[in-house]
Structure 1
Amino acid sequence: MTGVGEVLRERWRLLSLLPGAGRGLLAALLAAHLVTAVATALTAVVTGRLLDRALAGSQVGDVLLPLGAVAALVLAGQCAEIAREPLDLLAARRIVGALRARVRARVAEPEGIAHLGDDAYGTDLARVSESGGWRTRTPGTGAVGQLVLLGRLTGAVLCAAVLAWHAPLLAAWLLAVTLLMRATIRRQWVRLSATWDDHAGDRRRMEYWADTLGEVPAAKEVRLFGLGAWLTDRYRRQAEGWLDVIWRQRRGILRRQWWTFLLALVTGFAALHVPGAALAAGELGHGELVTMVLAAWGVFAVGAMGHEAFDIEYATGAVRAFDRLDRAPTGSAARGGAPAPGAAPHLRFDRVGFRYPGTDRPVLDGLDLTVRPGEVLAVVGRNGAGKTTLIKLLTGLLRPAEGRITLDGADLADFDVASWRRRVTAVFQDFVRYPLTLRENVALGAPEVDAADDAIRRAVEAAGGPGFLDRLPDGLGTLLTREHSGGVDLSGGQWQRIAIARALFALAHGRQVLVLDEPTAHLDVRAEAEFHERVIAAVPGATVILISHRLSAVRRADRIVVLDGGRITESGSHVELMARDGEYAGLYRLQAGRFAADRAEGVST
């Protein structure tokens, strides 16, 4: 169970987020809450005075002053309440906006991507980013909720002070019991909030099933395979699994409320009986009775668990997740190193080893590989051999666990990673389809330069062939998404050409190394080979690394290496490897035989 000290630290942590709302807004918010708190206590006092004067048969003029004071206090309290709602909402949005901006910066800060593959990191990231429960709850609403609670506590203390003027023991008793009841109820709901946090991973999986059911990319398979009912069932079972735990706890909380209800009943009776008995004994006037009852009600009201209590409990978990993200080591590569070589460098993997977190099997194990400047190197191997991991290490997205990668003999870790990446470009199998114009999609290959349309057009024509631009309604200004008015949807092959154009544009603006990581895996062997030849011809002098599991598509590479068991097992030209009659030759003949059989079958049909 969380101790008092820990609770106070968490509450202070929430309050520390409030400056994110901005000074002016925060000042207005504090003023609104202070007016609400003070108005409640003063209204109790002034209402009692008004009643005394009215019952004493005073002149109208004598009643007008307390009547005006009551009206002013009620009006001020109501205006403050009305103003608080939009102020609270705006402050919460600003706070959560600032916090999520810090999260985005923290996530994007590392030069590598290893942290994004960590499940605990992903769960914390989802916890900070999600809106909890059936009401929008965020760290922003929690911070504002803590301010709301402080305002309510301030009002309760002021009302207790008014009550203590007439009955100090009753005031102390009422305030203590009310805070005890609130703390007890809070403790019960904290368990529920902790359970909610523990099932953040389940909610992420639920969202995945829901998104898959409704998103456009999966729509064809969902309908073709009749997966709608299956996905709905997976979502339902995932939801029922953790909601059953939540509702079990809620029912338990409600069953344990009987003694809290009894204590509230006794306390409420005392708050009415003590001033009533004093009035009956002639020890108290009617105005003082009203003041005491209103003040007691002001104290008692703080015991109610308003929505701010749940906002706070939700937000403390989200802020804890944010703090873990903020402290988490992310394996960020060193910044500010030496600039990368301007020309295509001599690359070397020197006994490089790597394994992914949570696994015992090394993906790369003592790998040695040299890539000469201007060489066309093909890396082949079975699926899962570590080809893509090798590229991630080369581009600095991952860092070797063992060994080192060198550029012209110097350790890659000693270079500025951003500088090195301005020398490398890549086209991956899962390249991103940005919902931007064609011009912007291509220019992203070298975002640091002021892209001229002529350079973009040359890259597009080299990748897409003559006439590619003519088929688009607005040329380079064509918006490549159906989600916006006037946009168009492209085929997979057309998107592939745009991804290649992006890489060619990058090569024309300082990149010296091109990586093709199976961007054409969906093409047939002949088309893939023709594609490689066309791209290589377009980038003379650049170092090109081809990744493929289809050997016939890379046979014209200057050198081919076979990656197996985390190491390079064979190296040479296609002719040399075939003459060696090793694993490469065996796999090549096997694939060639299948290709010939497929062609024969196609001719016969």
Structure 2
Amino acid sequence: MSDNGNAQRLWPAIARRERQRREAAGQLVTLARQAGAGLVGGTLALHVLSGLAPVTFMVGVGVALQHLAAGGDLGAAGRWLGLALGAFVVQQGLAPLLLLLSKEIARRVDRYCLTRFMTFALLDAPLPVMERPDVADRLTYVDEIFEQWTFTPGAATEGGIALAGRYTQLAGAVAVLAWTAGWWPALIAAVVALVVRRGRSEAFFHWGRLNREFTPYQRQTAYVRELATSTRAAKDIRTLGLIGWVEERYAAEAGGLHERLWYWRRRLYGGPFVIYTVLAVAGAAAALVAIARVADGGPPGSAAVGATAMAVQALALCARFGIVFQESDIKMVFGRGAWEALLEIDDIARGATGEPSRTRAVAGPAPAAGPVRAGVRFEGVRFAYRPDRPVIDGLDLELRAGTSTAIVGVNGAGKTTMVKLLAGLYRPDAGTVRVDGTDLRDLDPAAWTRAIAVTFQDFVRYEASLRDNVAMSAIGHRNDSAGILAELARVGLEDLAASLPDGLETPLTRALPGGRELSGGQWQRLALARSLFAVRHGASVLVLDEPTSQLDARGEAEFFDRFLDLTEGLTSVVISHRFSSVRRADRIVVLDGGRVSEAGGHDELVAAGGTYASMFAVQARRFATEAGPAGGKEMQL
């Protein structure tokens, strides 16, 4: 009963593993197609020729020895030695050519995979999918693979093709053994070679699968290491005296990771290595005994020396077949892992959205998003990061074209989430966002990106030139120097380019030669200039999320004095906690619990005595100042 139970468990495991092997082979075929049939076919043929070359060399030398030992025709011996020399020259000549062709295959495949990876990360994947821990782990894994450029999907593809040479060599060695020593030594050598090869490759396969499960631990270790070695957190670590804490944290994270690695290495490679080594030695010994018996039973004389030499060399080649092939196995296990991670990410995105990541390409062209003429409407919109806790819950809101709308509310009211829904970064769980009556999901995403300019509160500080930092919002117009300077002037940075050593070409980071760093307020103004540059080149919707959070009181006042001029003719949305900012908007909307609780003008909402009026009164008391000795005035909110 126990044997039957073991068998019932064993056969499904074997079937599952065979299915995995077929899937792996199918993945390599899929990747190889990206390199082109001609290149792959030619490289495959040359690998087969490369595998035949050492067998030919072995046969040529062995037969030549037979002729020489038997005192036969020296001309025949010379011809066989010439064949061996030719095989040697061919093998040496093929090595650099195969390296060149393999690198070209890897380059083409990696270009395809990297394009797919970046397209997913920058365009196809909904932001909530990108923020999931399981997706983050896979993205980190793929990113590290391409950062190292060693075990990429392209390397896996060229490694799989290189196996053709190895198996051709094995087949040739088995044939030589059968010819020189009989079928029994050949059969023993072939079985041992394939069994040991299968066992070692299986262990390596499981290690590759297991290694991906360590990604969260590797990510944590890399995070602490990056904290300790980069300038991003250097000020805090030094001023807070956290050097010891960072060292202890890194030791703990790295120690936990390495402990897991070594445990599984011993488990996967310890016992199996001993078993397969014993099997290989026993098989080789049995084959040697068989070869010796054939040699003893053969015709007397030294002519059998050549045959015996060929048989022993062929046996040695079979015995070495169980090793891990550096040019193939390592590349296939780790490189194919990156491709599998890409496929898994795609499956996760499909499961989260109910559609494949390239839906737009399948469904055909979507309506273009031109200038907004009527406005944007949120109709019964619901969105939740967790199903049981909606952030936006039944939002009905109209953003009329050509007007400015201010959004206010307490922290967590859903203001920034609403902006991300408007920008198309999130998709509503229920309800619709309509642009001039068309569902935002039906618009061409690239066209809508060009139609909307957004400055987020956590805007990006690009380690690039001043020119590129402004032109990022309309990068096709990066050579519009006059436009860049004009938008810098509109946000109060009219003298910035002139103050930098290389003007617009100055890198905005000290990490690059000739670079300069900006203050927090300058960076925020620059981010505003970036959005205005997009408006200059076609965007008709402007969204500003806490646009003055890093400006001083004077800078904030100057900006909002210009606010109506900056947003004239645009459909604009501004989010701010500072009520001195929002009161200039055409319409003020209060979000509470993910929906609109109040809407109207500043005076109207204050007179209503609701949430807005209470929040305004609290902020007014906070910022009001008593008249000083010099006769100061109360701050006007």
- TM-score scaled by length of structure 1: 0.90
Q: In the alignment, which of 522, 531, 545 is matched to residue 494 of structure 1? A: 522
Which sections of structure 1, spanning at least 5 residues, go unmatched? none
RMSD of the TM alignment (CA)? Answer: 3.0
CA drift of 1:83 comes to 4.4
Q: Counterpart of 1:226? A: 241
Q: Counterpart of 1:397? A: 425
CA drift of 1:311 comes to 2.4
Q: Does 1:47 align with 2:76?
A: no
Report the Cα distance in structure 1 between the residues aligned to 2:514 and 2:339, rounded to whole angstroms. 41
Q: Does 1:77 align with 2:77?
A: no
8 A contact 2:378–2:398 mirrored in 1? yes
Q: Counterpart of 1:275? A: 291
Q: In the alignment, which of 338, 341, 345 is matched to residue 325 of structure 1? A: 345
CA drift of 1:377 comes to 1.5
Deviates more, 1:244-253 or 1:152-161: 244-253
Q: Counterpart of 1:146? A: 160
Report the Cα distance in structure 2 between the residues aligned to 1:336 and 1:593, rounded to whole angstroms. 54
Q: Any idea what SS the aligned residue of 2:572 has? A: strand
Q: Counterpart of 2:270? A: 254
Q: Counterpart of 1:345? A: 374
CA drift of 1:214 comes to 2.5
Report the Cα distance in structure 1 between the residues aligned to 2:322 and 2:292, rounded to whole angstroms. 23
CA drift of 1:82 comes to 4.9
Q: In the alignment, which of 319, 323, 341 is matched to residue 300 of structure 1? A: 319
Report the Cα distance in structure 2 between the residues aligned to 1:269 and 1:107, rounded to whole angstroms. 56
Deviates more, 1:92-101 or 1:18-27: 18-27
Distance change >3 Å, CA 36–CA 343, structure 1 → 2: closer
Distance change >3 Å, CA 336–CA 63, structure 1 → 2: closer
Q: Counterpart of 1:190? A: 205
- Identity across the alignment (%): 36
Distance change >3 Å, CA 16–CA 512, structure 1 → 2: closer
Distance change >3 Å, CA 325–CA 238, structure 1 → 2: same
Number of equivalences: 601
- The residue type paired with residue 96 of structure 1 is D
8 A contact 2:587–2:599 mirrored in 1? yes
Q: Counterpart of 2:3? A: none
8 A contact 1:350–1:405 mirrored in 2? yes
Q: Counterpart of 2:537? A: 509
8 A contact 2:192–2:319 mirrored in 1? no
Q: Counterpart of 1:589? A: 617
- The residue type paired with residue 273 of structure 1 is V
- The residue type paired with residue 95 of structure 1 is V
8 A contact 2:145–2:151 mirrored in 1? yes
Q: Any idea what SS the aligned residue of 1:429 has? A: coil
Report the Cα distance in structure 1 between the residues aligned to 2:92 and 2:495, rounded to whole angstroms. 68
Greater RCO, CA 8 A, separation 6+: 1
Report the Cα distance in structure 2 between the residues aligned to 1:400 and 1:490, rounded to whole angstroms. 37
Q: Counterpart of 2:127? A: 113
8 A contact 2:200–2:322 mirrored in 1? no
Q: Counterpart of 1:364? A: 392
Q: Any idea what SS the aligned residue of 2:523 has? A: helix
CA drift of 1:59 comes to 6.1
Distance change >3 Å, CA 366–CA 240, structure 1 → 2: same
Q: Any idea what SS the aligned residue of 1:444 has? A: helix
Report the Cα distance in structure 1 between the residues aligned to 2:161 and 2:215, rounded to whole angstroms. 26
Which sections of structure 2, spanning at least 5 residues, go unmatched? 1-12, 633-637
Report the Cα distance in structure 2 between the residues aligned to 1:258 and 1:416, rounded to whole angstroms. 60
CA drift of 1:434 comes to 2.8
Q: Counterpart of 2:137? A: 123
Distance change >3 Å, CA 599–CA 287, structure 1 → 2: farther
CA drift of 1:524 comes to 4.4
Report the Cα distance in structure 2 between the residues aligned to 1:487 and 1:12, rounded to whole angstroms. 49
Distance change >3 Å, CA 250–CA 294, structure 1 → 2: same
Report the Cα distance in structure 1 between the residues aligned to 2:35 and 2:368, rounded to whole angstroms. 40
Cα distance per residue 1:560-594 (max 9 Å; x no partner): 22211111112222222222222222222323333
Report the Cα distance in structure 1 between the residues aligned to 2:198 and 2:20, rounded to whole angstroms. 14
Q: Any idea what SS the aligned residue of 2:394 has? A: strand
Report the Cα distance in structure 2 between the residues aligned to 1:414 and 1:9, rounded to whole angstroms. 35
Deviates more, 1:275-284 or 1:499-508: 275-284
CA drift of 1:288 comes to 0.8
8 A contact 2:606–2:613 mirrored in 1? yes
CA drift of 1:541 comes to 2.1
Distance change >3 Å, CA 436–CA 133, structure 1 → 2: closer
Q: Counterpart of 1:266? A: 282
Distance change >3 Å, CA 365–CA 326, structure 1 → 2: closer
Report the Cα distance in structure 2 between the residues aligned to 1:571 and 1:506, rounded to whole angstroms. 29
Distance change >3 Å, CA 475–CA 345, structure 1 → 2: farther
- The residue type paired with residue 321 of structure 2 is V
Report the Cα distance in structure 2 between the residues aligned to 1:341 and 1:92, rounded to whole angstroms. 41
Q: In the alignment, which of 540, 549, 555 is matched to residue 568 of structure 2? A: 540
Distance change >3 Å, CA 237–CA 397, structure 1 → 2: same
CA drift of 1:23 comes to 6.0
Deviates more, 1:289-298 or 1:314-323: 314-323
Q: Does 1:38 align with 2:59?
A: no
Instruction: Write the mapping of 1:408-447 to structure 2, written as runs, cut at 5 A.
Output: 408-447=436-475
Q: Does 1:521 align with 2:549?
A: yes
- The residue type paired with residue 346 of structure 1 is G
Distance change >3 Å, CA 276–CA 134, structure 1 → 2: farther
Report the Cα distance in structure 2 between the residues aligned to 1:415 and 1:277, rounded to whole angstroms. 80
